[in-house]
């Protein structure tokens, strides 16, 4: 297979599936109780300089509690997969948690605008960035989930995105057509928020899954936060709904409203006022520092954060709003 061209970006992770398998062979497949606090999960399964992946899509179904705890525990020099990353990226940038970034969709919070602080951090020179398209990063997770070192794709060839990626152009051995070879991405640790899970880590979720199923299979360590814990009997009653199986999971944390201020499909809408407050205060470094102290560093748990931002009354209103939106879509 002929190598035709290479991107100039740095490859931050090892794409060799045999090296990944050597790690996966050390993981227990026992069906044990993995229930623990967010604090304990982050302390046990994340480390400085790890490569991190976050589940969800935009501000939908993000593991906010894990992102906050990474800041509280002072994680630094991590790598990060910026795949459809919005408010989670905003949080991690506020704590300067990462210094290596595989970027596809970052800084922007969709229709809400650009995060001033995240943009400032990326332009500071403190972060090394390698570019990918959304599909390019998705294909990298897919390759890892399949246990192959790369996948050939056609998107991004001939673009600046390709130039600043770490991909390579190869010639197809069957058709002699050039393809973009994207390397498998095996995160050291990933965090995914789901609708329901049992204590063993069998997970169910609703709505868009984006690349989470591949991320779960690619990650060496996986932390699950869940809206609620359900019994294993419930899992067995509808096995087709279990899309992340227990043997992939290292920790299960019950965190109701765990995506707040993001939204959770069929559960609660995003808190747009609070997200706009983030965006506004980021423009003033001193006001933003006070905001982070109040909402993250002075909170012991995600429940404390909810209490400071309207508590159950606010959550009830966001739940009603989501249900109304869901009904209108139906």
For the segment 309-326, the average pLDDT, to the nearest whole number, is 93
Q: How confident is the model at residue 60 (pLDDT cuts 50, 70, 90)?
A: very high
pLDDT at 92 over 90: yes
Predicted local distance difference test score (pLDDT) of residue 329: 63
Summarised one tens digit per residue, pLDDT across range 186-238 is: 999 999 999 999 999 999 999 999 999 999 999 999 999 999 999 999 999 99
CB half-sphere exposure, 292, CA atoms < 13 A: 21
Whole-number average pLDDT of the chain: 96
Tell me: the pLDDT tens digits for 105-121? 999 999 999 999 999 99
pLDDT at residue 327 greater than cutoff 80: no
Going by pLDDT thresholds of 50, 70 and 90, the confidence category of residue 173 is: very high
CB atoms near residue 35 (< 10 Å): 18
According to the CATH classification, is domain 3-265 in 3.40.1080.10? yes
The stretch 75-104 carries a mean pLDDT of 97
Statement: residue 14 has pLDDT above 60: yes
> Among residues of the chain, what percentage have pLDDT more than 90?
96
Across the range 241-264, mean pLDDT stands at 97
pLDDT at position 54: 98
The conformational region for residue 56 under phi > 0 = left, psi -120 to 50 = alpha, else beta, is left
Confidence of residue 157 (pLDDT cuts 50, 70, 90): very high
Q: Which whole number is the average pLDDT over 90-119?
A: 96
Q: What is the pLDDT of residue 1?
A: 73
Predicted local distance difference test score (pLDDT) of residue 235: 96
Could you give the count of Cα atoms lying within 13 Å of 8 in the half-sphere of its Cβ?
Answer: 5
Mean pLDDT in residue range 146-152: 98
Which residues does 207 contact at the CB level (< 8 Å), separation at least 6?
A: 60, 61, 265, 266
The string over 294-312, giving b where at least 16 C-beta atoms fall within 10 Å of a residue's C-beta and e elsewhere, is: ebbeebeebeebbeebbee
Flag whether pLDDT at 330 surpasses 80: no
pLDDT at 84: 93
pLDDT value at position 257? 98
pLDDT of residue 325: 74
């Amino acid at each position: 297979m002929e190598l035709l061209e290479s991107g100039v970006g740095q490859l931050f992770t090892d794409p060799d599936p045999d090296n990944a398998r050597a790690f996966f062979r050390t993981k227990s497949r026992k069906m044990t109780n993995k229930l623990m606090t967010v604090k304990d999960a982050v302390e046990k399964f994340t480390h400085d300089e790890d490569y991190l992946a976050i589940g969800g899509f935009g501000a939908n179904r993000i593991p906010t509690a894990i992102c906050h705890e990474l800041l509280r525990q002072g994680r630094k020099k991590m790598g990060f997969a910026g795949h459809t990353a919005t408010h989670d990226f905003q949080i991690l940038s506020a704590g300067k948690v990462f210094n290596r970034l595989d970027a596809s969709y970052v800084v922007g919070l969709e229709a809400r605008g650009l995060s001033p602080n995240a943009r400032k951090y990326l332009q500071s020179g403190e972060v090394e960035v390698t570019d990918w398209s959304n599909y390019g990063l998705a294909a990298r997770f897919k390759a890892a989930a399949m246990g192959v070192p790369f996948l050939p794709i056609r998107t991004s060839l001939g673009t600046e995105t390709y130039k600043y990626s770490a991909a390579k152009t190869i010639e197809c051995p069957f058709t002699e057509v050039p393809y973009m070879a994207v390397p498998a991405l095996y995160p050291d640790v990933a965090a995914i928020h789901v609708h329901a899970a049992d204590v063993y880590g069998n997970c169910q979720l609703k709505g868009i899954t984006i690349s989470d199923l591949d991320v779960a299979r690619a990650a060496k360590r996986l932390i699950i936060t869940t809206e609620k814990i359900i019994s294993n009997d419930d899992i067995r009653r509808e096995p087709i709904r279990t899309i992340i199986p227990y043997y992939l999971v290292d920790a299960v944390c019950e965190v109701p409203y765990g995506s707040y201020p993001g939204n959770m499909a069929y559960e609660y809408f995003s808190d747009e006022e609070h997200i706009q407050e983030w965006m506004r205060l980021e423009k003033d470094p001193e006001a933003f520092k006070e905001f982070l102290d109040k909402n993250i560093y002075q909170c012991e748990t995600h429940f404390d954060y909810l209490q400071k931002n309207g508590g159950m009354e606010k959550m009830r209103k966001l739940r009603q709003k989501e249900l109304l939106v869901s009904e209108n879509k139906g």
